[in-house]
Structure 1
Amino acid sequence: MQKLTERLSACDEMIDRQGRIRGPWGPVMSAVREIGPEELERRAAALNRQMGLAAPFGTTPKSFYDPLPAPLTAAEFSWLEAALQQRAQMLSATLEDLYGPQTLLRDGKLPPALVLGEPHFLRGMHTATSLASPRLSLYAADVVRCSDGSFRLLRDHTGVIPGLGHALNLRRLAASTLPELCRTGGLRSLRPAREMLVDHLHREAEGGLVAVLSAGAHGGPTQDMVDEALLARALGLLLIEPGDLAARNGALHMKTLSGLLHVALLIRGISGIDLDPLEQGGRPGLGIPSAFGAIRAGVLTMLNTPGTGLPEAANLQPYIDQLFQPLLGQEAMLLRASEADIAACSKAPFVTGRGYTPAPLCFRLFAWNDGANWQVLPGGIGLPIATPEVETPVLGLKDVWVLDEEDNLYTAGPPPAEPPQHVSFLAAAHLPSRLADNLFWLGRSVERLEAACRLLMLAVPRLESGTSLPRDTAERVLLSRCLAQAGLLPAEIAGGGLSGRLLRQTLVRRRPITGLMKEVGRLVNAASERLSPSMLATVRFALHQAAEALPNEETALPTLLSFAATFAGIAAENMSRDGGWLFLEMGRRLERGETMAESLAILLDARPERLEPGMALGIELADSVLSYDLRHAGILAPGPVLSMLLADVSNPRSFAYQCAALRGCLQRLGAEDDAEAARQLQQDVANLAGTATGLRAPLIQAGAKLRLLSDRVHRRFFVLLPEAHTLEEDEILEAAQ
């Protein structure tokens, strides 16, 4: 503790002018002393590991979390709350005027050349009348504490509001890793304010869909996708991308599995300049055509409206700071910080791997317009300010604490007289088609990877044996044909002459397993927002282990199978049986059934007296050797083998099991016709168990039917196009007449 005090003696956020620890920091530093510096650094590492689990799309978090908070007293926050409310009210009035009557320009309060020449002034959002909702609904301000203890404004955030997701989640994550700090008492909760914000959003939407709009993988280098994902989770909203949206009849709709769902309110994470490429130009893949028109027509509410980033322009700030008196008839409470104020602003301790580092501190506080007043979140995030002595990338974000008074200032949640009317959310029906598509193909890709590994593990030792016994030669021919069918080696080298050495050389040259792993990794990242943090961490760890073993694809096969088993276990035990799981499961069952049909069509393509090598390989490939030995004492016969591989619904690797599982998923999604097709296919293939001849053609046909069913699923749920119609002969004749 003594070394910590020596390092922080100049940090006036914690130390007052008399050299004593300020009141708000007393309980915090007592808890820090009990934890100890080494344990505190371990806790900080654990806190940031939890934060990394929330990173969507495979991105690396751009920010770190610092375990030490930045406390504010109740009196300090009360003054800041009033100052932020006043400033937000002034900025809102300024934006309403600039995009409406423009009296400030005509009266000379703002220079027209600067306003109209600013890129963030979007002429397409200028309207003759006010919009249905305020243009500025979310606001954030960065403030610093000066040497005399007063607060000054560092910058406004009026367009895209950065950091709100971190502010709403940091407290929860810190409480799980540093409960000693949170037990110090007197801390005002964020929960009532968050509940009131959620209630306001759903009331504004009037039963429509509310979502957080992210640029996703198309965002620029400054976009914090982790913050947007955290915001969506904290508010219980969907995280969507521009590609999920379509304009119909002047309104925006989200492409879901149940069709187009009207979007009523969006919290945007995309710059207004890029939002509507139809009116603004810009990158078409990033924006949403017709978004401006939907906002002007009042059928879409966007927080904040495009163009609200105008007050952030540096050229306009001196003029905007003079508008309090003309617009509100008041003097500004929160003055802008000068360069001297910033140079002498207060410092706070930050935990690093080298101990504790003092750095200038900026408080970022957030406010929202509830339709009548501006509400200020009783907390926020503390950010380090870059100086020549301090590298901010190595310092973390702090949780801003607001210490409570004895009297409670909030009631729990929204007023009970008018309960919020939340959107009825059916996870399967309202799942964005993009996410369903990613999960569907993730299931297929994992199964494809597992099937390739099982086939190679079966083939490599047999091809290396080099024996010339008839049975061994027959097995090598069958396996080489299966490898060619699976795309693991060229068809021209498949045959009895394939050796283990040639197979290894082909794997080194073509690297098919590496390609399958890359596709699995891409789809895991694309579907990460539908996996919980613990699920995502487990899957990524197993994927990383498999990737490390990949340079030698032959020896990596057990590790790759371990990843497939981990993934299957996560899906079976951690995912609820609706929404995304249905499409993940459908992808797995379609791929496994199709692979099985294609492999068995090769293995069982022989006369009954020559079926034994193919039957033995089929049982091994289906990982059913133990079950078959227990039931039939290991005696291979066509009837029992075909029954176990084709008709046994209790065997997870039988064709019948795949069809039954697929039928169940399709029934839950309301695709009764496709479910009936899966049932009929199951029955047709089960009937093959009674015969041992002519199996190749019906099995090939079964695989083709599964591919057709996959195409129908894709068309029904992902593309949202009507089913293709084929004219019958009588219709063709009628049309010709």
Structure 2
Amino acid sequence: MASAAETSLFDAATIAARWMADYRAATPATDVLYAAGLDDPAWTAALEELAGRSGDDLGHARERAQRHAEDIGTGFRIAGEGEERPWPLSPVPLLIAKGEWDGIAAGVAQRAELLEAVIADCYGEQRLVSGGYIPAALLTGSPFFLRPMMALTPPGGFHLNFVAVDLCRGPTGEWRVLADQLRAPVGAGYALENRLAMARMVGGLQSRLNIERHAPFFAAFREGLAARCRRSDPRIGLLTPGKFNPSYAEQAHLARYLGLLLVEGGDLAVLEDRVYLRTIAGLKRVDALWHRVDPRMVDPLAFDSHSQIGVAGLIDAMAAGEVVIANSPGAGLLEAPAFAAFLPRLCTRLTGEQLRLASVSTWWCGQPREAAEVAADLDNMLIAPAFGVGTNVLGDGAAVLGSNMPPDQRAALVADFARRPQDYVGREVVRLSTMPVITESGLAGRPFTLRVFAARGPQGEWHVLPGGFAKIGEHPDERAAVMGEGSWSADVVIYGPQSVAPVTLLASDDTTQLRRNPGTLPSRVADNLFWLGRYLERGEALLGLVRSLLGHSISADTGAALSAETVQRLVDTLGQAGAAALPASLKRGDLTRFAAAAMDGTDGWNSVRTVNRQARGIGAVSRDRLSADMIKLLDAPFPSKGGALDRAGTLQRRYYALAGLGAEHLGRTDAWRFHDLGRRVERAMAAIRAIRGFGHVQATSDDLSTLLDLADSQISYRQRYLTGIARVPVLDLVALDPGNPRAIAFQVAAIADHLAKLPVLSDDGLAEDQQAQAAALAAIIATTQAASLDELKLADIANRLSSLSDAIARRYFLQGAEPLRAAGLVLA
């Protein structure tokens, strides 16, 4: 009798065999699975592993892959859209045998070295131009030729440190280059995330196929950047344009994985030709930047003076050899499709070899003969902008198939082509190979392209990521595969007969210097985490008011609704918070509509929805600091089902979960301290507002019960006092009891403790302003009696808290054009 394991394997094998037997591709001759054979052991193993995890339901397999990608936090944004989309991961990987891959990798490395030589000449002696190998118009006519980079030798001597190459597989199995990505290559993080998700999906495939690992590639890249820095223990940052960049989620993941600082232009400053990061401990030197910013925007003094995302003086620091920039600004010159027409000749000239990976046939129309050929064969060519940017006709920069153009566009193209032929290239129409993907009707072939990555190692050698990621078209049309709505990506698996060592980015124990200091905290990050804490507490306080207004109470003996006076105070408190316009009356219908407005209001109201959106926005720029679970909770849709009371309860429980994650999953670092500081400041302010509204001298039992509800202290009070509700004991519990985590005293003590442990800028032993203010406030709280806690005293505490918050901001957060040499500013 077969064992359970044998039965399970048999079932998976049967399912996989059926999938392969049912598989269909529009053109079997160009499909990778048909080329390998429908009985190929590698593809059989991949589909068996998939069947073993998801059974016979292909739709379930796709859902599982999506769920794993979302758990990792993978996302992307289409340009112009505000919301991120989930990363579309296909559960079926692209399989490439090690022998075939070695040829691809050698071709990519050769191409990267060729591009380095060409770009060095273009910004150096320009012998290729003077010798007639490159038309001068390819430099002077390109918007990506940056003249300030002329004669500038990058630190370490290399313009290119990280490149991407888009490949396609032809009808006979040959691989060719569609495009080179040099300015700010996107996708290595997606390749990594695809691999992480697929490892969860089909973990057994690693040992069955001896899959090449990604970690050595990323380790080599990180070591290569460090080797070109002047300091032995350099500080390296990933320079991002910010959260609205389409690949921001990928950038955050890469920064976290590689141990890089995720920084924006505003985080950096150049002083005496050195680049510094603005941190809570002063200015800290940055030695290298891997940038994802448009190179024309990286330095407003050198390039585009309107740039708001660059760093003034960055190119001067690079010219002085004080900062490595990967890739060097100006390298995007060679991304122009027109250059592809000249690379074969340049390769022979510079290396004495033929290109191992040929480019798709390209004709630059700035030459009379080539222009005539393209014009004569327009219907059979792809017409593209010569320099990768839009023309008068191709406004968005996209390529068009000549035979598909409507008559009016065709006429406009012909006319513009006659006027400015140098703006266009003609390209061969590429027929792409197909690979298996899960569709509504089952496993089917879809066209794909492959993006491959290469990075320089510590000795200047090129390392090629074993794999990359495949972009899969939604439709069977084999002429295009464009990433966007309705398209998919897939992990790319390089497999072979030899076992693969389990290499990771973790250094060996004997080479790693132990450290309990988590590293540098940028001022912008501290600011974000502080306000994330404040917004979450602010939202929680508003939700408490809404729930109390709509009748929420844990007391079982109140029975009747709150008195009209207490209800009015709840309404007034919500109104003073700016949550919604005051209701016309205290009738139930008006109150219900008022509570709903306080939950959902827009148009300038500080409603729960508005506060939640602000917290969500901060979470979007804090992916490198927060756990995937926290990001997922922040990104969760605003509750829409049920009444206001039900939705308030749902959202408040979500906020409780976020508070728990922050308390238990964030390391006790300076980053956590700022997040908790924000929570403590906001919670103390909310407590003061509640006491002023419901703890006044004439407070009724309904008022005091509502105050205990808002302070989440009903149970604590009932356990401590068995004789009923009285004002002074309530005030002592919610304001002055240092053991109550909801009390003002507890918040002030926590604030003072955090500030005492944060960095200071001087070593004179004297308290800084924010520390002194916190100590003074703590002394006031410690010496105040509940019976004397009147309106005047509460107002004084509130003002001191507000002043303390301002002092924290002045000391630790970015203050616009603050002087770089402020008194006591630390440079390191």
Q: TM-score, normalised by structure 2?
A: 0.77
User: Residue 656 of structure 1: CA displacement?
Assistant: 1.0
Structure 1 residues 409 and 99 mapped into 2: Cα distance closer, same or farther (>3 Å)?
A: farther
Name the structure 2 match of 1:399: 491
Task: Report SS of the residue matched to 2:732.
Answer: helix
Aligned to 1:530: 625
What is the identity, as a one-letter code, of the residue corresponding to 2:680?
R
Residue-by-residue CA offset, 1:22-55 (whole Å, 9 max, x unaligned): 4543432443455567444323322223323233
Correspondence for 2:234: 208
Q: Which residue of 2 aligns with 1:378?
A: 466
SS at match of 2:286: strand
* Secondary structure of the structure 2 residue equivalent to 1:279: coil
1:457 aligns with 2:481: no
> What residue identity is the alignment partner of 1:73?
A
Partners of 1:527 and 1:196 in 2: how far apart? 26
1:56/1:367 CA distance change after superposition, 3 Å: closer
Partner SS for 1:358: strand
Instruction: Note if 1:519 corresponds to 2:614.
Output: yes
Judge conservation of contact 1:187–1:403 (CA < 8 Å) in 2: yes
Q: Which moved more, 1:159-168 or 1:522-531?
A: 522-531
- Residue 408 to residue 654, structure 1, CA distance change in 2 (3 Å): closer
Distance 1:557 1:30 in 2: 46
SS at the partner of 1:366?
strand
Equivalent in the alignment of 1:51: 69
* Deviations, residues 124-181 of structure 1 (Å, cap 9, x unaligned): 1112656543001112222233333332222222221121111223222211122243
SS at match of 1:287: coil
Q: In structure 2, what is the equivalent of residue 352 of structure 1?
A: 439
8 Å Cα contact 2:237-2:262 kept in structure 1: yes
Answer yes or no: is the 8 Å Cα contact 2:534–2:678 preserved in 1: yes
2:467 corresponds to which letter in structure 1? G
1:193 Cα deviation from its structure 2 partner: 2.7
Within 2, Cα distance between the matches of 1:26 and 1:233?
35
Deviation at 1:507, TM superposition (A): 4.7
Where 2:668 maps in the other structure, the secondary structure is: coil
Aligned ranges 1:473-484 → 2 under 5 Å: 475-476=566-567, 478-484=569-575
Q: Deviations over 1:160-214 (max 9, x none)?
A: 1121111223222211122243342322222223222222233334323212222
Change (3 A) 1:708 1:176: same
* Equivalent pair of 2:534/2:679 in contact (CA under 8 Å): yes
Q: 1:652 to 1:549 in 2, by over 3 A?
A: farther
Q: Which position in structure 2 is the counterpart of 1:5?
A: 21
| Separation (CA, whole Å) in 1 of partners of 2:174 and 2:124 | 36
> Any idea what SS the aligned residue of 2:59 has?
helix
Cα distance change on mapping 1:601 and 1:273 into 2, 3 Å: same
Structure 1 gaps, min length 5: 726-737
* Residue of structure 1 equivalent to 2:158: 134
In structure 2, what is the equivalent of residue 729 of structure 1?
Answer: none
1:615-641 Cα shifts (integer Å, max 9, x gaps): 444333312122212111043345433
Q: 2:681 is matched with which residue?
A: 590
Q: Give the whole-Å Cα distance in 1 for the aligned partners of 2:549 and 2:36.
A: 79
Q: CA deviation at 1:382?
A: 1.9
Question: Does the alignment pair 1:603 with 2:694?
Answer: yes
Q: 2:530 aligns with which of 427, 440, 451?
A: 440
Give, in whole Å, the separation in 1 of the partners of 2:321 and 2:689: 55
Does 405-414 or 1-10 show the bigger shift?
405-414
Residues 234-287 of structure 1 show CA distances to partners (whole Å, capped at 9, x for unaligned) of 322222222322232233322222222222111111221232233322652233
Picking from 70, 77, 80, the partner of 2:104 is: 80
Matched, 1:547 2:639: yes
Residue 501 of structure 1 and its aligned partner are, at CA, apart by 5.0
- Corresponding position of 1:110: 134
SS at match of 1:323: helix
Which AA in structure 2 matches 1:538? L
**Partner amino acid, structure 1, of 2:213:** S
Task: Give the direction of change, closer, same or farther, for the CA distance of 1:520–1:461 in structure 2 (3 Å limit).
Answer: same
**Larger deviation: 590-599 or 412-421?**
412-421
Structure 1 window deviating more from structure 2 (412-421 vs 302-311): it is 412-421
Question: What is the rounded CA distance, in whole Å, between the counterparts of 2:288 and 2:532 in structure 1?
Answer: 30
Q: Does 1:666 align with 2:686?
A: no
Q: How many Å separate the matches in 2 of 1:233 and 1:59?
A: 22
CA distance in 1, matches of 2:75, 2:546: 34
In 2, distance between residues paired with 1:458 and 1:332? 73
What is the root-mean-square deviation in Å for CA atoms of aligned residues? 3.6
Equivalent residue, structure 2, for 1:734: none
**Superposed displacement of residue 85, structure 1:** 1.9
Deviation of the 1:402 alpha carbon: 1.7
Map of 1:368 onto structure 2: 455
- 1:307 is matched with 330
Structure with bigger helix share is: 1
1:719 aligns to what SS in structure 2? coil
Following superposition, the deviation at residue 307 of structure 1 comes to 0.9
**Is residue 2:648 matched to residue 1:632?**
no
Q: CA 1:354–1:539 in structure 2 vs 1: closer, same or farther (change >3 Å)?
A: farther
Tell me what 2:392 maps to. none
The aligned residue for residue 431 of structure 1 is 521
* 1:569 maps to 2:648: no
Letter in 1 for 2:493: W
Q: Is the 8 A contact 2:62 2:90 kept in 1?
A: yes
* Alpha-carbon shift at residue 397 of structure 1 (Å): 1.7
Are 1:146 and 1:342, in contact at CA under 8 Å, matched by a contact in 2? no
Change (3 A) 1:307 1:701: same
- CA positional deviation for 1:588: 1.0
CA distance in 1, matches of 2:428, 2:653: 58
SS of match in other structure, 1:548: coil
Aligned counterpart for 1:230 among listed residues 253, 262, 285: 253
1:687 aligns with 2:774: no
Pairing of 1:158-307 with structure 2 (within 5 A)? 158-205=182-229, 206=231, 207-219=233-245, 223-281=246-304, 283-307=306-330
Amino acid at match of 2:462: W
Shift of 1:411: 8.2
**3-state SS of the aligned residue for 1:636?**
coil
Map 1:140-155 to 2 at 5 A. Answer: 140-155=164-179
Amino acid at match of 1:702: I
Aligned to 2:808: 713
Q: 1:398 to 1:129 in 2, by over 3 A?
A: closer
- What SS does the corresponding residue of 1:661 show, helix, strand or coil? helix
Q: Is the 8 A contact 2:616 2:634 kept in 1?
A: no
Deviation at 1:7, TM superposition (A): 2.9
Any conservation in 1 of the 2:58–2:442 contact (CA below 8 Å)? no
Give the whole-Å Cα distance in 1 for the aligned partners of 2:546 and 2:451. 56
Distance 2:494 2:681 in 1: 54
1:348 aligns to what SS in structure 2?
strand
**How far is the alpha carbon of 1:93 from its aligned partner?**
0.6
Query: Between the two proteins, what is the percent identity of the paired residues?
Result: 26
2:746 counterpart of 1:657 = yes
Q: In structure 2, what is the Cα distance between the partners aligned to 1:34 and 1:453?
A: 46
CA deviations on 1:44-96 (whole Å, 9 max, x unpaired) are 32222332323389842474212222222222122222222221111101111
Number of equivalences:
704
CA change 1:227–1:425 in 2 (3 A) is farther
Structure 1 CA distance, aligned partners of 2:451 and 2:234? 31
Distance (Å, rounded) in 2 between the aligned partners of 1:122 and 1:252: 21
The one-letter amino acid paired with 1:376 is V
CA contact (8 A) 1:212 1:237 kept: yes
Shift of 1:589: 0.7
Encode CA deviations 1:431-466: one digit per residue, 9 max, x unaligned: 222222122112111211222222233344499xxx
Relative to structure 1, the CA distance from residue 97 to residue 677 in structure 2 (aligned partners, 3 Å threshold; closer, same or farther) is same
Q: Measure the CA separation in 2 of the matches of 1:613 and 1:212.
A: 55
Distance 1:112 1:710, change over 3 A: same
Give the structure 2 partner of residue 732 of structure 1. none
In structure 1, C-alpha distance between the alignment counterparts of 2:226 and 2:313, rounded to whole Å: 23
Q: Give the aligned partner of residue 43 of structure 2.
A: 25
- Structure 2 SS opposite 1:114: helix
Partners in 1 of 2:589 and 2:237 — Cα distance?
55
Quote the Cα distance in structure 1 between the aligned partners of 2:150 and 2:255.
30
* Aligned-pair CA distance for 1:99: 0.5
1:687 Cα deviation (Å)?
A: 2.8
Are positions 1:623 and 2:719 aligned together? no
